[in-house]
Structure 1
Amino acid sequence: MKRPAFSLPRSSRWVPGNQFELLENGEDFFPRVFNAITKARREVMLETFILFDDKIGQELHAALLAAARRGVEVHVLVDGFGSPDLPDTFVGSLVDAGVRFRIFDPGRRFLGQRLNMLRRMHRKIVVVDGELGFIGGINYSADHVADFGPEAKQDYAVQVRGPIVAQMQHFTREAVLYRNERKRHPAASAASQSHPGTAHAIFVTRDNHDHQSDIERHYRVALRSARHRVVIANAYFFPGYRFIREMRRAAKRGVDVRLILQGQPDMPIVKTAAGLLYDHLLRAGVRIYEYCDRPLHGKVALVDDDWSTVGSSNLDPLSLSLNLEANVIIRDRAFNDHLYGRLSHLMENSCKQIEAVAPGRWNGLRLLRSYAVFHLMRWFPAWAGWLPKHQPTITLANPGTAAAEPTGSATA
């Protein structure tokens, strides 16, 4: 039976008793993660899109190496497109120490060019001992700390404690481990975990099989239920027709809908694509802010007083229709209020508000452009399914060398 358009996806059971702490930029995020790995007793599971051999990558390398040498079971999964050209010494020393280092769909180069840019593993998750988790949009690279300069990214993640961490651990185990590896250390049980906080949460993922639109539908359900405020801060914004429709409907019924996008994008096409939607949104009453201090890399949102989300998923065709993503949905007034305060600070101090164009200045070309964009948004999810498909593999680096051999197919 066909599911109604606004029914919640299957990953919709709220888990109570969690504690979330917002981590803003690498200055907050990296020390927390590295300290957690340093204190790990049994297991570290880490997935990331980008891992570079720079000062941040080296700090992570040192923490993982030390953990493995003291007997902690360490599993790392990096994306083959996002983390290219890691030195043999970087990977090899981890593998020699016992780290199970895997690469998602490394692909092959053609004339020196990487062609495997579609259907990537874009998640950023860390789970330590099944008790402490991290999830968000921050990669392991030096451009996530302020001293990188004007190109340093503005980004967000959360530190998580509570029963929802067991779901994160179970998911990462299923994504990368052999069956016999999963038996080595029993997964944490949500029922047996303490309840350190009062937040309800949902761990929600996107893949190309059973959960193709879960994250987007959580967003749309929240937009549909919004009563007084919505704030979305997203780096790469070009969602589908139904998402835009719910934003416009919320604004038209009096909800204060605000959108924070890149004003200093890391890729010029990002601003161009989002700009095509401005007229359509502004005419409905959506307020648009461009963050101008540095590139915005965040993927966060809040609705009303208690709904929030933080994760890896952008609101563009790659994240919503192709990539493997993971977000956490949080129902907690204190967290929502704190996130609202940080985003309000951004809008007041570092953003330029986009003004609607006066009606008299409309011309035929702009009307045609708006019409074309409207229909592109309406149909792009279906078109995404026509793009080339393949069965990605996860490869495992061998001891004594950085070379990797396939270990099996991946869910993409």
Structure 2
Amino acid sequence: MKRPWVEGNSVELLINGEAYYPRVFEAMAQAREEILLETFIIYDDKVGQQLQRVLADAARRGVRVEVVADGYGTADLPADFIAAMTDAGVRFHLFDPQPRLAGMRTNLFRRLHRKIVVIDGQRAFIGGINYSADHLGDFGPMAKQDYAVEVTGPVVAQVHAVSRRLMSPVLEPPSDVRPVTAPTGDVTAVLVERDNGQRSTAIEAYYLEALRKASSRIVVANAYFFPGYRLLRELRNAARRGVEVTLIMQGEPDMRWVRALSRLLYNYLLRDGVRIHEYCRRPLHGKVALVDDQWATVGSSNLDPLSLSFNLEANLFIRDHAFNQQLYQHLQSLASEQCKPVTLERMIRGYWWRAPLIFLCFHAVRHFPRIAGWFPAHRKRLEPQQPEVATQGNLNEGNT
């Protein structure tokens, strides 16, 4: 089910928390009617506490504030942190929370992984940045490299509708904010979501369409790279027909097993001329890509089984030369100044003992969409968090 591309938008690239947090908090502080916020993680640190304050202040001045945080990613948020918001009038919901098992968080699959903010139906933010201090450079060597976009224009109506649909079981009374549809710029864009219903392959489908049409260049910067066989094949095919294909992967990963899995796929791509760089300055958390000189995407979706087959994700796909060029110049700078190139010679060292693992990995990515269907598609819940009484709202599988 494809959503139409919409003309007349303005889109601004926001790199890392230093650019993102001031803009999103300023927009929240200026909200007059409604704030809709979805995220995977909120931490009780300086960023989370600033979010807490700006949302509570908005609620006190009469703004309707609806927050949905993932019950796995935000499982450790203290009750008093949440109470400080709900006491001010913020409606705070956890997405499908589950009890711990032997002290461990459970229910890893099918998480709310998308990061969306919609302000008054007029302004939206989409990307991969959570509300935690590890998205700021002063966090130290493990500070994340990440991206988001700020959007105005008619495409905000799509973002608003997607977020409102997720929250519909707990929106009482229903939201009466009507998104502004007047043009604000020259950018063409579309908001694409991945769910476990009719849009289960939507984000991957937009990637595949762009890769097949690529004629000059493809650049992908993705934190967790273990895509399906079709996407791997299109990257290789593009390189074979002369397209300059560049991948920027994690060189200083926050989870080392992720890099190990990605490297098992490098041989397949390097042999056909794909260029691979590992970003070594700090952990790469971004999920961005561009094709030729018009197409680009920024969002929450990694190119791995969790994002492509299980989680709720959202990416903004963009057609605009200026935005494409800005992102291209930034990624080129990363590749040339802060990355280590990966060579085929380096990857084939010790190939004899890795060959069986590579064989198994290829078959895993080739058949993973079918394997994913074996996992239960549980009913997703939004659980309102209140100081004294907790109620539950059910969210049907096909309605995300």
Q: Which range, TM-score by smaller chain?
A: over 0.9
Deviates more, 1:149-158 or 1:114-123: 114-123
Q: Is 1:24 matched with 2:15? A: yes
1:214-270 deviations in whole A, cap 9, x for unaligned?
A: 000100110000000000000000001101000000000000000000000000111
Equivalent-residue separation in structure 2 for 1:133 and 1:208 (angstroms): 24
Report what 2:220 is aligned to: 232
Q: Structure 1's 361 and 33: CA in aligned 2 closer, same or farther, altered over 3 A?
A: closer
CA drift at 1:176:
0.7
1:3-402 mapped onto 2 (5 Å cutoff): 10-178=1-169, 181=172, 183-188=174-179, 193-357=181-345, 364-398=352-386, 400-401=387-388
CA drift at 1:13:
1.1
Q: Structure 1's 84 and 160: CA in aligned 2 closer, same or farther, altered over 3 A?
A: same
Q: Which amino acid aligns with 2:70?
A: D
Equivalent-residue separation in structure 1 for 2:312 and 2:347 (angstroms): 41
Aligned residues: 398
Equivalent-residue separation in structure 2 for 1:310 and 1:24 (angstroms): 11
Find runs of 4+ consecutive structure 1 residues off by over 6 angstroms. 358-362
Q: Is the 8 A contact 2:34 2:177 kept in 1?
A: no
SS of the counterpart of 2:344?
coil
Tell me the TM-score normalized by structure 2.
0.96
Q: Structure 1's 37 and 249: CA in aligned 2 closer, same or farther, altered over 3 A?
A: same
CA drift at 1:180:
6.4
Equivalent-residue separation in structure 1 for 2:177 and 2:69 (angstroms): 24
Q: Is the 8 A contact 1:137 1:297 kept in 2?
A: yes
Report what 1:408 is aligned to: 394
Equivalent-residue separation in structure 2 for 1:49 and 1:187 (angstroms): 26
Q: Structure 1's 81 and 362: CA in aligned 2 closer, same or farther, altered over 3 A?
A: closer
Identity, % of aligned pairs?
A: 53
Equivalent-residue separation in structure 1 for 2:105 and 2:380 (angstroms): 15
CA drift at 1:397:
1.5
Equivalent-residue separation in structure 1 for 2:179 and 2:182 (angstroms): 11
CA drift at 1:168:
0.6
Q: Structure 1's 94 and 358: CA in aligned 2 closer, same or farther, altered over 3 A?
A: closer
SS of the counterpart of 2:345?
coil
1:164-193 deviations in whole A, cap 9, x for unaligned?
A: 00111111111113486364523315xxx2
Q: Is the 8 A contact 1:394 1:410 kept in 2?
A: no
Equivalent-residue separation in structure 1 for 2:346 and 2:88 (angstroms): 64
Q: Structure 1's 185 and 371: CA in aligned 2 closer, same or farther, altered over 3 A?
A: same
Equivalent-residue separation in structure 2 for 1:349 and 1:360 (angstroms): 25
Q: Which amino acid aligns with 1:74?
A: V
Equivalent-residue separation in structure 2 for 1:36 and 1:302 (angstroms): 27
Q: Which amino acid aligns with 1:228?
A: S
Equivalent-residue separation in structure 1 for 2:349 and 2:142 (angstroms): 35
- CA-atom RMSD in angstroms: 1.7
CA drift at 1:120:
0.2
CA drift at 1:404:
3.2
- Unpaired runs of 5+ residues, structure 2, are none
Q: Which amino acid aligns with 1:59?
A: Q
Q: Structure 1's 349 and 181: CA in aligned 2 closer, same or farther, altered over 3 A?
A: same
Equivalent-residue separation in structure 1 for 2:158 and 2:190 (angstroms): 9
SS of the counterpart of 1:110?
coil
Deviates more, 1:353-362 or 1:38-47: 353-362
SS of the counterpart of 1:326?
strand
Equivalent-residue separation in structure 1 for 2:348 and 2:95 (angstroms): 52
Q: Is the 8 A contact 1:232 1:259 kept in 2?
A: yes
CA drift at 1:352:
0.3
SS of the counterpart of 2:391?
strand
CA drift at 1:369:
3.6
Equivalent-residue separation in structure 2 for 1:220 and 1:20 (angstroms): 23
Equivalent-residue separation in structure 2 for 1:294 and 1:238 (angstroms): 20
CA drift at 1:364:
4.2
Q: Is the 8 A contact 1:393 1:406 kept in 2?
A: yes
Q: Structure 1's 321 and 180: CA in aligned 2 closer, same or farther, altered over 3 A?
A: closer
Equivalent-residue separation in structure 2 for 1:181 and 1:44 (angstroms): 15
Q: Which amino acid aligns with 1:405?
A: T
SS of the counterpart of 1:371?
helix
Q: Is the 8 A contact 2:15 2:147 kept in 1?
A: yes
Q: Which amino acid aligns with 1:408?
A: N
Q: Which amino acid aligns with 2:80?
A: T
Equivalent-residue separation in structure 1 for 2:5 and 2:348 (angstroms): 49
Equivalent-residue separation in structure 1 for 2:359 and 2:75 (angstroms): 39
CA drift at 1:12:
3.9
Deviates more, 1:113-122 or 1:330-339: 113-122
Q: Is the 8 A contact 1:104 1:392 kept in 2?
A: yes
Q: Is the 8 A contact 1:36 1:128 kept in 2?
A: yes
Q: Structure 1's 220 and 409: CA in aligned 2 closer, same or farther, altered over 3 A?
A: same
Q: Is the 8 A contact 2:267 2:348 kept in 1?
A: no
Tell me the TM-score normalized by structure 1.
0.93
Equivalent-residue separation in structure 2 for 1:370 and 1:360 (angstroms): 11
